[in-house]
Structure 1
């Protein structure tokens, strides 16, 4: 009987770890995609970048709302932030809501030099 209880506990723990791992994998995949977007989309408008982020979130089935994503540009620097809450099923019929938040920054080196900097000769 002890062995059966130990096995059930082990299966429940493995289930929780796998489910949490899958949610974390989607989070890191979305964050990586956003990092690529802000780094390599120097010519894209912030709204276009935000739309691409939302499309990727939908593809990954991440519960991200449009209002929870912010993309700003300050010269060659682009900053994107996002925040969402996703329930993780750690035990059958028990969901733990976890809030994921990230902010990534990209610096476009292919932009024209700023007026404050002297032109190179």
Structure 2
């Protein structure tokens, strides 16, 4: 289990990444594309925290497998799992396209990611 001070620091950092993503999203293409990386990093940071808090390592899972594992943790707690899989897959795919293929997202892709991460 992650201690409270570290948890708060990591949550604050994830929030900071989202706010940097929001700022970057207002820039012009291609610079606004960095917001996709910021949003993805923020979510990945939260995934790491949640999994670590439950005795697991995100190193053992891909991005979407982390999401599935977290949903499993939620279900095992008798709570309603997240329905955000589709949005996360889009964000992941846009990140892969940008970072690994050099394909820039459209302005509407960036705005959709911004709304998804709000």
Same fold (TM over 0.5): no
TM-score range, shorter chain: 0.3 to 0.5
TM-score (norm 2): 0.34
- State TM-score, norm by structure 1: 0.34
Higher Cα Rg, which structure: 1
| Higher percent of residues as helix | 2
